Amino acid sequence: MTNRKVLDNKHKAPLPSEEDAGLIKMCVLLTLVLDVLERDIRIMNISPLKMPDLYIRSLTGVQQRVTVQLAETKARMKRQGVKIYSEIRNHEGVEVLYVCRGYQRRFFMLSSFARSEVRRKLGYYLGIDLTQDYAPL
């Protein structure tokens, strides 16, 4: 009986790792970044800015880069056997239910943390150093 148990353990899929959870986090954040960009582009299209096309082009370029990174992240998730099957967003945060090589898992990110991470990611894509204080002209 113990020999069979040893054999069964050898054939089990590896447990979900920190790397797998990191992929889920990245996927959620990149999706949120795309949503923010889409909203901001839509607002700029109807705003009375003098040259909205410049801002829209800049954000559209960022949107394209984020889309590529999201596609790469999803491809990596697929290779590693990670699949999101539910995402719920509310005022508290983002909850994701996913399967990782047969194991069901839950990932939750508080709204305040998500907002901070999205801001950090957008700053990175826009080439803005968020550690420097903002001083309006």
- Residue 78 half-sphere exposure toward CB, CA atoms < 13 A: 6
**Are the C-beta atoms of 70 and 84 separated by less than 8 Å?**
no
- Give residue-wise pLDDT tens across range 42-81: 999 998 888 889 999 999 999 999 999 999 999 999 999 9
Q: What is the pLDDT along the chain (137 residues), one digit of tens a residue?
A: 444 554 455 667 788 788 889 999 999 999 999 999 999 999 999 988 888 899 999 999 999 999 999 999 999 999 999 999 999 999 999 999 999 998 899 999 999 999 999 999 999 999 998 887 776 76
Give the pTM: 0.85
**Are the C-beta atoms of 74 and 68 separated by less than 8 Å?**
no
Could you tell me the residue ranges of all domains in the chain? 18-123
